[in-house]
Structure 1
């Protein structure tokens, strides 16, 4: 018997009840305070200690993901989920929402368009390899995303379709409604997988600890960005940290107390990331694409960028940004918030994006 995993919820309803209890308690508010406080301490004292811990926990997280994928694929009915995940539905390529969601998902995952790497660039040296690191970040991110998709779809189909006898539409509906902004896909269904594994409890602890540190490393970057901007305007670093922490803390309270707000935030800031990425591309064009290419290609231990990069920056990104923004405006007025595009209180209107 799998005794080490007895403490984990063995049914989807049990995991959902635990997740809902957490959402409805004061814990999200308290963990929000803790996360912001630790993030402030990290950028105040330096992030070398966080880097050392991440060098252990992040590889451990990747190893646990690989183990979890293998275990998920051995569950009865898991391959039905994998087949559904990779079965193309060509008609969906005509849906602009798919393209917008795909673009913004990658932007959220990799940090593209946030301005975070502009901040880190001030601490980088030429030998760090800008192009190589950027390429590996994208490849690594998408690889982990695919593995996570296989793991989640395999587990959900194994539990709901095989064990509970649900049909595909019912399974997909539950996946779509598993918490605001898909938060439940991780916090409800991963415990289900670990509950079916030998030594599931310690693996679950390591998985969520590694996931926490992965998110925490992103939080540090997001706190460092506005702090650095304030420092560049002449504000003392200690004061800049206090200002940043206070603003981020206050702005984060609504989503800490009501996770449904995350759906609105995903909607708003996915559009903002499109615009931000376009502005960065326009800044490169204004500075001079060829000049920047020469600056990048002088590093010996880095990969060189060629004409394809110039075409991407000067032609593809402006065209894609304009097309997707036009699509988004049309969908906001006709699908997301029909008849209420001007209402700032509608969470999916054009006006709520402009206000925020």
Structure 2
């Protein structure tokens, strides 16, 4: 059926300028800090080269199918997560706000890690950590207080770059989708790729580099018989592709009515995975050099994944190598850029949701939201207890908050309101690459089954063991772990209860032949 344009209906919803702009933003969202510091360690500890098989299965069986579900929902229902789910089912708006609040919590601590990276790009000039990288990171830079439950003592070397990061992203968001987020990604993403390729090329010529790469790709075929390896692959794909956060759903809502959804989704998915493998090569070539210098094997090194890799292990390597200062500047600038592109996508989800519900302008939301979130970010994470608080919140909000949102989304589409066939028709009506009916079962059966196992294992650990050396009843877990989940739930309920503004203007739902 014919659809009126946004201008004909009075809608003021922004749009991407074209396929390239959307692709840059989508890939920029997917490529973040986790690709660089998480994937290499996960792959290495779960079978090395053999891990690429379950990783490919997870990409094709769960990752890209859910990414396409995000695209179809956002493009068809023309809204951010709360508006889209409200249009999908009258009582499903809460799920959209759950995704928004989970992303908001991630945003306030994710910005802090980007600030660490920016600070370390500066410290790379004179290799400020060269005497002892771990002591410098924990004691001199973060000024870590590991004994207090929470302290509000600010750490200036974190606070200053954090404030600059927030000013940058607020300015970008205030310009809207096409002039702000898209323009920033068109600049930052190519720069990130160029910088990181330079890092990998430099690392390949270090003594011991090939030993490190061989260790990364050496297959442990026995690992394929371990179910946890397959779950680790799904988890990595899930978190690295920005799926089920509401991000890609919101991004797709800014696309024109006719757009090649599946082709773009495949390019975005494989671009993200290709960057992860590139990151693995660069990281392990560098670790091979470190092992060579210390006359040990790569397996004997500590800190092969997570923040310790980026802020302790890598700085240690950088201090050892010829031209280490330049390498450090390149590496930490890359981390900063990767973080900023992902941060913008999280913030656009939040901004778009408030614009849709309350009719506010992009500039109003950017400034108001930015001020509130930056204050929370500084108060809880740019302090002497910031690292431990960040670690707890990150674990709970990702392993419970995000996975719960994903399960609810696929179940809603498949069971509560069975519209997967209509969504598949929608994808096929817009795309050159057609989606087979098996996609419906990958979404409706395989994805919730695998994600439910991941959620169950996480809950069992939190309820019986605790997390990170903290017991089940430790105040740190109760306040910042379960507390973050409770805050997301209550905030989502309040925002769902609030009335939609009559000033909010929405584009009509897009329907093609064969859809409801």
Shorter chain as normaliser: what TM range? 0.7 to 0.9
Aligned match of 1:256: 382
2: CA distance, partners of 1:129 / 1:195:
48
Q: CA deviation at 1:190?
A: 4.9
Partner of 1:314: 444
| Aligned counterpart for 1:284 among listed residues 413, 425, 435 | 413
User: 2: distance between equivalents of 1:11 and 1:29?
Assistant: 19
Counterpart secondary structure, 1:305: coil
Aligned 8 A contact 1:227 1:240 in 2: yes
- Per the normalisation by structure 1, the TM-score is 0.81
Aligned with 1:270 (options 398, 404, 421):
398
Task: Give the RMSD, CA atoms, in angstroms.
Answer: 3.4
Tell me by how many angstroms 1:243 deviates. 4.0
For the 8 Å contact 1:116–1:225, the answer to whether it is kept is yes
Structure 1 range deviating more: 345-354 or 73-82: 345-354
CA displacement 1:265-301 (0-9 Å, x = unmatched): 331122222111222212322251110111111125x
Compared with structure 1, are the counterparts of its residues 9 and 88 closer, same or farther at alpha carbon in structure 2 (3 Å cutoff)?
Answer: same
Q: Distance in 2 between matches of 1:229 and 1:55?
A: 23
User: What CA deviation, in whole Å up to 9, does each residue of 1:174-223 have, x standing for no partner?
Assistant: 435xxxxx22423445554597466x655654554344233222222212
Using the alignment, how far apart are the partners of 2:345 and 2:174 within structure 1?
Answer: 13
Deviates more, 1:319-328 or 1:18-27: 18-27
Q: How does 1:171-182 map to 2 (within 5 A)?
A: 171=301, 173-175=302-304, 182=306
Distance 1:244 1:206, change over 3 A: same
Kept in 2: contact 1:19–1:188 (CA 8 A): yes
Match of 1:228 among 352, 362, 372: 352
Q: Are 1:77 and 1:157, in contact at CA under 8 Å, matched by a contact in 2? A: yes
Alignment of 1:182-201 (within 5 A): 182-190=306-314, 192-193=317-318, 196=321, 201=325
Q: Deviations 1:78-125 (Å, cap 9, x if unpaired)?
A: 222222222344565576665554433333321111101222122111
Deviation at 1:313, TM superposition (A): 0.8
Post-superposition Cα deviations, 1:282-323, rounded to whole Å, max 9, x if no partner, equal 2322251110111111125x4221123112111111211222
Shift of 1:66: 2.5
The CA distance in 1 between the partners of 2:421 and 2:208, in whole Å, is 53
Paired with 2:343 and 2:481, the residues of 1 have a C-alpha distance of 28
Question: What is the match of residue 125 of structure 1?
Answer: 256
Within 2, Cα distance between the matches of 1:349 and 1:22? Answer: 23
Any idea what SS the aligned residue of 2:434 has? coil
Pair 1:23-2:142 in alignment:
yes
Q: 1:81 aligns with which of 207, 212, 218?
A: 212
* 1:136 aligned partner: 267
Q: 1:213 to 1:77 in 2, by over 3 A?
A: closer
- Is residue 247 of structure 2 the alignment partner of residue 116 of structure 1? yes
For 1:236 and 1:56, the matched residues in 2 are separated by 27
Q: Is the 8 A contact 1:81 1:157 kept in 2?
A: yes
Aligned pair in 2 of structure 1 residues 256, 100: CA closer, same or farther (>3 Å)? farther
Flag structure 1 segments of 5+ consecutive residues without an equivalent: 1-5, 177-181
The answer to which of 33-42 and 241-250 deviates more is 241-250
Corresponding residue SS for 1:298 = helix
Task: Choose which of 452, 457, 461 in structure 2 pairs with 1:331.
Answer: 461
CA distance in 2: counterparts of 1:252 and 1:95, whole angstroms:
39
Aligned-pair distance for 1:72? 1.9
SS at match of 2:358: coil
Q: Give the TM-score taking structure 2 as reference length.
A: 0.58
SS in 2 for 1:112: coil
Can you give the 5+ residue segments of structure 2 that lack an aligned partner in the other structure?
1-123, 144-154, 488-516
In 2, the alpha carbon distance for the partners of 1:309 and 1:186 equals: 37
Count the aligned residue pairs. 342
Q: What CA distance in whole angstroms lies between the structure 2 residues aligned with 1:93 and 1:265?
A: 31
Q: CA offset at residue 355 of structure 1? A: 3.4
What does residue 343 of structure 2 align with? Answer: 219
* 3-state SS, counterpart of residue 211 of structure 2: helix
Please tell me whether the aligned partners of residues 130 and 319 of structure 2 are also in contact (alpha carbons under 8 angstroms). Answer: no
